Structure 1
Amino acid sequence: MKSWKADSDCCSWDGVTCDPENGHVVGLNLTNSWLNGRLNSNSTLFSLRHLHKLNLALNNFSSSTIPSQFGHLARLTHLNLSRSFLSGQIPSEISWLSNLVSLDLSYNYFKYFVGGPDDFKDLNLRRIDLEALVQNMTYLRELHLDEVNISSSLPQSLANLSSLTSLSLSWGSLLGEFPSNTFVLPKIQAIDLTYNEDLAGFLPKFRSVLPWKNMISLDLRSNKLQGSLPIPPLSTQYFFASNNNLTGRIPSLICKVNSLQVLDLSNNHLIGQIPQCLGNFSSSLSVLNMRSNNFQGILPETFIKGSSLRTLDVSLNRIEGKIPRSLVKCRLLEVLNLGNNIMNDIFPFWLESLPELKILILRANGFQGPIWDSHTNFGFSKLHVIDLSHNNFSGRLPSEYFKTWNAMLMVHGKINSKPEYMADHSGYYEDSITVMNKGLEMELVKILTIFIAIDLSNNRFCGEIPNTMGNLKELIVLNLSRNSFTGPIPSSFGNLIELQSLDLSQNKFLGEIPQQLISLTFLAYLNLSQNQLIGPIPQGGQFWTFQSSSFEGNLELCGSPLLMKCENNETPISTLSYESSFGEGFNWKAVVIGYACGLVIGLLIGHVVISRRAHWFMKTFRVKLHR
């Protein structure tokens, strides 16, 4: 703290607020101040008995416990200790702070290690201390305990906090039934109960207590809430009820909530038809996610001009019929996921006119016919992911088709860029998709904006692959397996410098494997099996790491890792191998052995981490693996 000088008035220091009448320090805001070290009970902080507001968020207190001396700061109205690497049991003395209006102890879950195995630290709150907190802090307006390990049911007295406007208890290991009267507190504006997988109960019939004017966000994701879907208060802008056990139909009254910007009901057991009015009930609706339910019938055909719709996800249902042409009016649409339904239509060429479309998933339906037309303009300039797998699409891929896919053509300078995810502009919702990557089906709980993928597998495409596909330098995943492609593998694939997963298996590719593929330094998965390839397998680069299964079913291929030797022992090796600066005695065999050992050890460690720390793995990497 540069401004904190002993010879100056402390009331002039950064983050310090004093009472103008008596000079007492009444406010201390040291958020994100690079404070390091333990928070000790004898700190002079606890001598500031006139403090009203204290914010120590976003610092590093080195896994300290919260000192009980906080309970002596009796005048505190605001206390924020979030994201500060605190751990251990929250002291019961915190409940003495009966004047608190805002309490935030959230997000102190972290990985901690000292010369041994990794450990995971968090704050713990006993049931008896939670009850005391709720009973004594009657003025509370904000209570944020995200990632605080509560591991018990919530006291019914929570519903007595009549001034409460914001309640956040995500990732708290809550048990039992949630006190339903809390939902109808008179001033409540935001409730977040996400990821309490053992939290059960029924949602109240909100419409019976209308009118409400305060509720803005209701986030109930990933619990065990059950019963029929309630209609949230008319003022609600963000309603998340995904990953629960909700049943029954969506009441048409949902369309009365025309302030909604995000409606996410995915991964429940809802039935019936998606109400037609959801296409036009609100010009402010940005996200409509009905993924993985038991919906039937056709999609709404009433999408309107001026729509704000950015994400439409109805995948994993039993939707039938055709893609509604009224979607062309949704000029802001970025994500269209219709995968895993029973729709029957031709390729929607007209979608090329949507200027913002980034994700197009039509996988596992009954779509058929070619995916291009001589009268189309070859749009899709912002497309990041296209998944047409498991349909009956047919025909050739024209060379002009990929020339306008600008988002896949450009190189964005990823090394120095900060990771960004696809999300609505409010930040409340992040898109997710399921993709085949490196031979595994993965659910990307968050989608990096740099993730670029094409999956045309399991169709009836034929003909040669156009060389222009090799210009899509941003591609990370390319899957053309299980089609009838023929001709040589384009040597231009050597230009796909970001490629990590390439699957060309079960086609009719001819000729030799292009030497240019050796230059793909990020290629971690390769499957060329069950084709008609011939000649020597390239040696060097990532090809050292691939197993024989990557090449099996090509009877005239030879060379490592296959047992079949090439004639005259001539196997082409990348010239890079001979340009090493390590000297004449450098042994590439040692590199391969070391790489293989490292790979095996890495896989074993990864398996242990994922199996034993699945909770942490999902929270950190936002990826779910499906076996």
Structure 2
Amino acid sequence: MTKFPHFLQFQDELEDLFRDDNRIEGLIPEWIWNKSKESMDSVWLGGNQLTGFEHNPVVLPWTRLRLLALWNNMMEGSLTVPPASTLAYFASGNRMTGEISHLICNVKSLIVLELSDNNLVGKIPSCLGNFSNDLMILDLKRNNFKGSIPEMRDLPLEHFKNCDAMKFKVDKLEYMNTIILPSIGGWILSQDYDITITNKGTTLSYEKVSSLITFVDLSSNKFTGKIPNSIESFKNLHSLNLSNNILSGSIPTVIGNLTALESFDISQNNLTGKIPQQLAGLGFLAIFDVSFNHLTGPIPQGKQFNLFQNDSYKGNMALCGSPLSCGEQPTPSPPLSSEKNDDSDSFLTVIIVSIGFGSRLIIGIIYGRKLATRCSEYIIIWFLLKLKKKTK
């Protein structure tokens, strides 16, 4: 199909318009939003050759629209703002330019916003940070944005005690996905998770995320306080990264009970005290970094600790023992800030973790930085309980 059917322009009570994956060219005609202004629920126009909207409205006037899909077209010009009622807006894979209008802040009901692979510029509106209680997916990659990423509301460390899915060994291979929008236009919209992570010096891309993968990355935020002892229950945790925060207190001895741990990074914090000897019993530990803290005393010896080099301990003036000597003074600690990263690294890393509440499995994410080499997606998936309540 290369054009919109002529008879549709006389329909004034359309609720769902499915014309995706055709070859419709040119502008989206004005009658599509004027004739069914009060009835339209979803518009699916992805995968065509559309170039924009006729008369280029700043905000589309549908009053009850819940889904607008424009992905993989040839849409040009500034980003058209969807109605305030919109739950999902897909506009990735187009040629849109200019800045994201501040009018997007009026669409507070958004659960999904995908604008990747365009030519959008300027700053990301700070109001997107206020959407984080409801916004489940935010995809802005491969544009030309500048400035700082809006602060999102992260995940308090004390919530670790509620994370059940990493407490038990998972034997059945399953892949993580979520229902984003139930029953819009007769369709249930779901999303498979895909991530790129770095672990043990190797970058791995996962088109689908196995339930066997248990990573927690809270790096490069501003978390304060102590590392909670409740982390002891994460028996199936493989990688824990709390680096580049403002954490204080000592390293909990209970970390030694995380027998599946392969990577442990708590560098660039304000941690004090000794490195617990119990950590020497972690037989799978291959990556260990406690650099640039205020740790004291001897370095544990034996097993995996015989393999770690000086870089694992630098910036702790009172640590001694192999591979350091007690007379050796490691390099001073740099300021605890993100200044060590240049602008190309100042992006948000998202590592997906499986989080269980009670008897139900829920998928969440952890925020950090270093996207340039560690994460190809900027996805925000918030807890689903709230969404379920809204859709009942």
TM-score w.r.t. length of structure 1: 0.36
Deviations 1:221-241 (A, max 9, x none): xxxxxxx99759x89758369
For 2:175, which of 407, 411, 420 is the aligned residue? 420
SS at match of 1:319: coil
Whether the 8 Å CA contact 2:275–2:295 is kept in 1: the answer is yes
Paired residue for 1:272?
A: 78
- Distance in 1 (alpha carbons) for counterparts of 2:221 and 2:198: 15
Give the Å deviation of 1:549. Answer: 1.9
For 1:537, which of 281, 290, 299 is the aligned residue? 299
SS at match of 1:296: coil
- What amino acid is aligned across from residue 276 of structure 1 in structure 2? P
Paired residue for 1:564?
A: 325
Give the Å deviation of 1:626. Answer: 7.3
Does residue 462 of structure 1 match 2:267? no
Q: 1:219 to 1:513 in 2, by over 3 A?
A: farther
Q: 1:303 to 1:296 in 2, by over 3 A?
A: closer
Give 1:396-435 correspondences, 5 Å limit.
Answer: 400-408=158-166, 410-411=167-168, 413-414=169-170, 416-422=171-177, 424=179, 429-433=191-195
Whether the 8 Å CA contact 1:460–1:484 is kept in 2: the answer is yes
- Distance in 1 (alpha carbons) for counterparts of 2:75 and 2:45: 20
Does residue 504 of structure 1 match 2:266? yes
Whether the 8 Å CA contact 1:465–1:489 is kept in 2: the answer is yes
- What amino acid is aligned across from residue 274 of structure 2 in structure 1? E
> For structure 2, which runs of at least 5 residues remain unmatched after alignment?
10-15, 33-41, 181-187, 329-372, 377-392
Paired residue for 1:365?
A: 149
Give the Å deviation of 1:505. Answer: 1.0
- Distance in 2 (alpha carbons) for counterparts of 1:303 and 1:448: 32
Q: 1:510 to 1:337 in 2, by over 3 A?
A: farther
Paired residue for 1:297?
A: 101
SS at match of 2:285: coil
- What amino acid is aligned across from residue 272 of structure 1 in structure 2? S
- Distance in 2 (alpha carbons) for counterparts of 1:247 and 1:521: 58
Whether the 8 Å CA contact 1:537–1:559 is kept in 2: the answer is yes
SS at match of 2:172: coil
Give the Å deviation of 1:269. Answer: 9.7
For 1:320, which of 125, 128, 140 is the aligned residue? 125
Deviations 1:7-50 (A, max 9, x none): xxxxxxxxxxxxxxxxxxxxxxxxxxxxxxxxxxxxxxxxxxxx
Deviations 1:243-284 (A, max 9, x none): x9x998996698879695866569x9976345132x524x7x
Whether the 8 Å CA contact 1:342–1:366 is kept in 2: the answer is no
Give the Å deviation of 1:417. Answer: 1.0
Give 1:92-491 correspondences, 5 Å limit.
Answer: 184=1, 206-207=3-4, 211=8, 218=21, 237=44, 239=46, 264=71, 272-273=78-79, 275-277=81-83, 280-281=85-86, 285=88, 288=90, 290=92, 295-298=99-102, 299-304=104-109, 309=111, 311-313=112-114, 318-323=123-128, 334-335=136-137, 365-367=149-151, 400-408=158-166, 410-411=167-168, 413-414=169-170, 416-422=171-177, 424=179, 429-433=191-195, 437-438=199-200, 444-491=206-253
Higher relative contact order (CA 8 A, sep 6+): 2
Give the Å deviation of 1:470. Answer: 3.4
Q: 1:401 to 1:231 in 2, by over 3 A?
A: same
- Distance in 2 (alpha carbons) for counterparts of 1:291 and 1:454: 31
Q: 1:262 to 1:461 in 2, by over 3 A?
A: same
SS at match of 2:305: helix
Whether the 8 Å CA contact 2:174–2:210 is kept in 1: the answer is yes
Deviations 1:340-386 (A, max 9, x none): 9789xxxxxxxxxxxxxxxxxxxx62438xx6xxxxxxxxxxxxxx6
SS at match of 1:494: helix
SS at match of 1:554: coil
Whether the 8 Å CA contact 2:235–2:258 is kept in 1: the answer is yes
Give the Å deviation of 1:420. Answer: 0.9
SS at match of 1:539: coil
Whether the 8 Å CA contact 1:526–1:550 is kept in 2: the answer is yes
Deviations 1:189-209 (A, max 9, x none): xxxxxxxxxxxxxxx7x5587
Q: 1:423 to 1:512 in 2, by over 3 A?
A: same
- What amino acid is aligned across from residue 539 of structure 1 in structure 2? Q
Q: 1:322 to 1:273 in 2, by over 3 A?
A: same
- What amino acid is aligned across from residue 270 of structure 2 in structure 1? K
Q: 1:326 to 1:551 in 2, by over 3 A?
A: closer
- Distance in 2 (alpha carbons) for counterparts of 1:291 and 1:501: 36
Q: 1:459 to 1:516 in 2, by over 3 A?
A: same
- What amino acid is aligned across from residue 81 of structure 2 in structure 1? P
Report the identity percentage: 29
Whether the 8 Å CA contact 2:128–2:150 is kept in 1: the answer is no
Whether the 8 Å CA contact 1:467–1:490 is kept in 2: the answer is yes
The structure richer in strand per residue is 2
- Distance in 2 (alpha carbons) for counterparts of 1:276 and 1:254: 5
Bigger-Rg structure (1/2): 1
SS at match of 1:469: helix
Q: 1:302 to 1:367 in 2, by over 3 A?
A: closer
Deviations 1:168-223 (A, max 9, x none): xxxxxxxxxxxxxxxx2xxxxxxxxxxxxxxxxxxx7x558785999665399xxx
Q: 1:549 to 1:326 in 2, by over 3 A?
A: closer
SS at match of 2:126: coil
Q: 1:443 to 1:490 in 2, by over 3 A?
A: same
- Distance in 1 (alpha carbons) for counterparts of 2:45 and 2:284: 39
Give the Å deviation of 1:480. Answer: 2.0
SS at match of 1:322: helix
Give the Å deviation of 1:338. Answer: 7.8
SS at match of 1:485: strand
> For structure 1, which runs of at least 5 residues remain unmatched after alignment?
1-183, 185-203, 221-227, 344-363, 372-385, 389-396, 568-623
- Distance in 1 (alpha carbons) for counterparts of 2:320 and 2:93: 46
Whether the 8 Å CA contact 1:527–1:549 is kept in 2: the answer is yes
Q: 1:247 to 1:402 in 2, by over 3 A?
A: farther
Give the Å deviation of 1:474. Answer: 4.6
